[in-house]
Amino acid sequence: MKWAYFLTLVFIVFLTILYEWQKINPEYKKEKVAFALFTLAGTVLLTVLIFYPDVQGPFDWFKKMYGPWLSL
């Protein structure tokens, strides 16, 4: 069942890239790089969460790093 979720994720990301990439002006190279990096980061994070749902999220890391200062 996890592979079905993963393939659905890949299909949705592929459709999103096809739809949005055409709308970005070809002269905006940095915007295309940022779009690609954020899309890749989101896809990797969702893939990890699909296959390993017990992994702590970024908010848990934030709480561990800044926990002592947040309790002031």
State the residue range of the domain holding 26.
Answer: 2-70
Closest C-alpha among 16, 5, 70 to residue 38: 16
pLDDT for position 72: 54
Tens digits of residue pLDDT in 18-69: 999 999 998 999 999 999 999 999 999 899 989 998 888 778 888 888 887 7
Q: Which of the four pLDDT bands, split at 50, 70 and 90, describes residue 16?
A: very high
Q: How many domains does the chain have?
A: 1
Q: What angle do CA 41, 29, 45 make, to 5 degrees?
A: 5
Tens digits of residue pLDDT in 39-53: 999 999 899 989 998
pLDDT for position 68: 76
pTM of the model: 0.73
Assess contact for 20 and 35: CB atoms under 8 A. Answer: yes
